[in-house]
Amino acid sequence: MQEPTHAATEPRTTGASADATPDGPTGLPFVGSVRPFARDPLEFVTRTAREYGPVSYYELGTYSVYQVSDPDLVRHVLVDRNERYVKGDLFDRTLRPVLGRGLLTSEGSFWREHRHRLQPAFHPDQIADAAETMTTYASDVSAEWTDGEARDVHADMMRLTVEVVADALFDADIRESEADIGRALTVVMDVVSDRMGYPVEVPSWLPTRNNRRFRRAVETLRRVADEILADHDRSADPDEGDVVSLLVDGQAGAVDDHAGSGASGNGVTGVHDGGLPREQARDEIVTILLAGHETTALALTYAFHVLGRYPDVERRLGAELDDVLGGRPPTVEDLADLTYTERVVKESMRLYPPVWELVREPVVNDVVGGYRIPAGETVSMHQWVLHRDPDLYDDPLAFRPDRWTEEMEASLPPYAYFPFGGGPRRCIGDRFAMLEARLVLATIAQEWRFEPLDDLSFSPSITLRPDGPVEMVTHRR
């Protein structure tokens, strides 16, 4: 069966009055749908989309949620009306204590200035220079494995990607302190996940176990950021293109070409006469450490896991790697010939999107899909739902890299597949992440096959995190 073709159409609506509230699960008094959402958020949002359509409504404790499950309506929020939306309170209260006013949590002109300041570090020419760093660290991890050994591959990928980010973007070697950084990042994500799941926020000043762990983890990350800044200060010949130099020395900005039409603030060149205050620079370093490694580690973990479940796909991938690379490390120039490798990455990120949900809040009233969304309410959009929508993908639960033909991609509505978000807030590191995912996958899959020991289970928070170790037996090819 061929992939369905989706012509450009108007967003699906129900014909409801803009003053009506969308249908959705009713839940219980006071707590709404907290219980079924907390029990299995992936199942809950999928069922809600399938039963109630492109716009639905439910309550999670004190939050009223408008769930948007149509590609054109996602585009409406992220691109066409992006100036009316901010990340919002839920995002702010969970991540600002860690990230301060970094790119993920800041808004408005402050965010635009920082985005333009950092953009040169993610220019294609700049990130291409990181390719050898990526394959070197991947080879180092691969060299630690033995044939027939059971490994927590997720832990290995988390370590690999945070080391790559530190070296490639900060010109810093963090291997001696990586264990402390890894533990701190894990604690932060664990606590953030817990806080997102509770309808009532536990005050941060209470001396609970989670609050104490969280404070220690944040202190560790800030200390690491301070050490990276201090190393830059001591360097006699710092890399002018790395993130730290852009933050503290002041560099010319760059055109931000990530978002499509309708993206406010795009196409503007920012010029910076000097560096940021120390605290702001530290916030950006912690933000990139956290966001720059987590999603790529998840993408690689799930790619290796699903390859182990589909031996025919694994064999075809291995044949391409043997033919193109012949046992040597991949380079940027090889990527044009590693077409099946890229399809494996894309399909893995479709089936298991590392970022499974985006949330926004309108700052003024908006109308989405025929429904009025009041200012200050929460709008949620789920990659997990749309990437698995049977109206958009044939046999959506199957892992089929071959679906990613040029014709199929051209037929998809733009926001049927959005692993890196979209609009002006599209992930600044999307090119870096895709380069790393392909190069690391190619480096490791040349040498190893994977035998998953368990099915995947998830503990979704900001990202689609696994619920515990992801153990696989590594077999040398």
What number is the average pLDDT over the span 237-245? 78
Average pLDDT over the chain, rounded to an integer: 88
In contact, 293 and 431? CB cutoff 8 Å: no
Comma-separated ranges of CATH 1.10.630.10 domains in the chain: 1-87+357-418, 100-355+419-476
Kindly report the CATH number that applies to the domain delimited by 100-355+419-476. 1.10.630.10
Please tell me the distance from the alpha carbon of residue 246 to that of residue 275, in angstroms, as a whole number: 7
Cβ-contact 169, 306 below 8 angstroms: no
Average pLDDT over residues 119-141: 95
In this predicted model, what pLDDT tens digit does every residue of 288-329 receive, in sequence order?
A: 998 889 999 999 999 999 999 999 999 999 999 999 999 999
Q: What is the pLDDT of residue 236?
A: 67
Res 11 pLDDT > 50: no
Least confident of 210-214, 232-236, 265-269: 265-269
CATH entry 2.40.160.40 includes domain 1-87+357-418: no
For residue 87, name the pLDDT band (cuts at 50, 70, 90). Answer: very high
The model scores a pTM over 0.85: yes
Lowest-pLDDT choice from 3-12, 109-118, 157-166, 181-190: 3-12
Summarize pLDDT for 406-456 with one digit per residue, the tens: 999 999 999 999 999 999 999 999 999 999 999 999 999 999 999 999 999
Least confident of 41-45, 274-278, 365-369, 404-408: 274-278
Residue 37 has pLDDT above 60, yes or no: yes
**Which helix (DSSP H) or strand (DSSP E) does residue 243 occupy?**
helix 243-248
Bigger pLDDT: 36 vs 62: 36
Phi, psi at residue 361, to the nearest 5°? -130, 130
Q: Is the pLDDT of residue 273 over 60?
A: no
Task: Average the pLDDT over each of 233-237, 262-266, 289-293 and give the range with the smallest value.
Answer: 262-266
What's the CA gap between 229 and 207, in Å, rounded? 31
- Asked if 157 and 300 count as a contact pair (C-beta separation under 8 A), the reply is yes
Rounded CA-CA distance 170/296 in Å is: 17
For residue 331, pLDDT beyond 70: yes
Supply the DSSP string of 372-429, one letter for each residue. EE-TT-EEEE-HHHHTT-TTTSSSTTS--GGG--HHHHHHS-GGGS-TT--GGGS-TT
pLDDT bucket at 16, cuts 50 / 70 / 90: low
Task: Return d(Cα 123, Cα 117) in angstroms, integer.
Answer: 12
Specify the 3-state DSSP secondary structure of 151: strand
Q: Would the pLDDT of 81 be above 70?
A: yes
Average of pLDDT values for 22-34? 92
Worst-scoring range by mean pLDDT, 17-31, 77-91, 200-214, 329-343?
A: 200-214
Share of the chain above pLDDT 70, in %: 88
User: For residue 80, with 0-12 CB atoms within 10 Å meaning exposed, 13-18 middle and 19 or more buried, which class applies?
Assistant: middle
